[in-house]
Structure 1
Amino acid sequence: MNDNNTYKVNGEIKLEKVSHINTNINNSKQSVPTFDVNMRVDNHTRNAVLALARATADKRTASEMVSILVESFLDNMTPSKLKIYQDFLDVLEKKDRLGYKLKNK
């Protein structure tokens, strides 16, 4: 379901934008730098994600599993909530672009 237009956050999470989001909402044409980050979750959440990842036939990584979970959650959101999500995502991606530019001058 994913296409070539993806956002990736490496480390514990890799979030790939799903195709229906790209076609309906995404207006950003700028590429977003990819760099390693950490996300704090409790041990039970980590264990659940790792168990889901390992239980699949494809033996997915935790990052891939989180992407699938996000995609599934987004599939059930209303268009107005998807718009709000996209606005927040765009702000966070813009922050990443600006921070990356400042660090790599």
Structure 2
Amino acid sequence: MKTAYQKCIEACQKCLVDCQNCLIEMAGKSSMNDCPKCCVECIDACLVSIKMMSADSEHAAAYCKLCAEICEWCAEQCSQHDHEHCQICAESCRQCAEECRKMAA
């Protein structure tokens, strides 16, 4: 089980951490889009996906598909900001979305 999900779990973990950092860094800053709101949703989506994959749930693929959609949305939002933490978050979201799409396939 571990090897089948390992890359996706690691991508979700990194995305969760980078989204959390982006969320904290954006506290008190104004935003012209859905950053940092998307980070909140992305953190939850990654957490649930990690839990489902860790449990080898029959629903893991469905959660990963949704997680990929949320990560793609978050990457789009955060990439519009010049802040380094937003750019790091956007890249982690893109990588997570890619791994989640593979898992959902």
TM-score for the superposition, normalised by structure 1: 0.35
Q: If each structure's helix is expressed as a fraction of its own residues, which one has the higher value?
A: 2
Structure with higher Rg: it is: 1
Given the two structures, how large is their TM-score scaled by the length of structure 2?
Answer: 0.35
Larger RCO, structures 1/2 (Cα 8 Å, 6+ apart)? 2
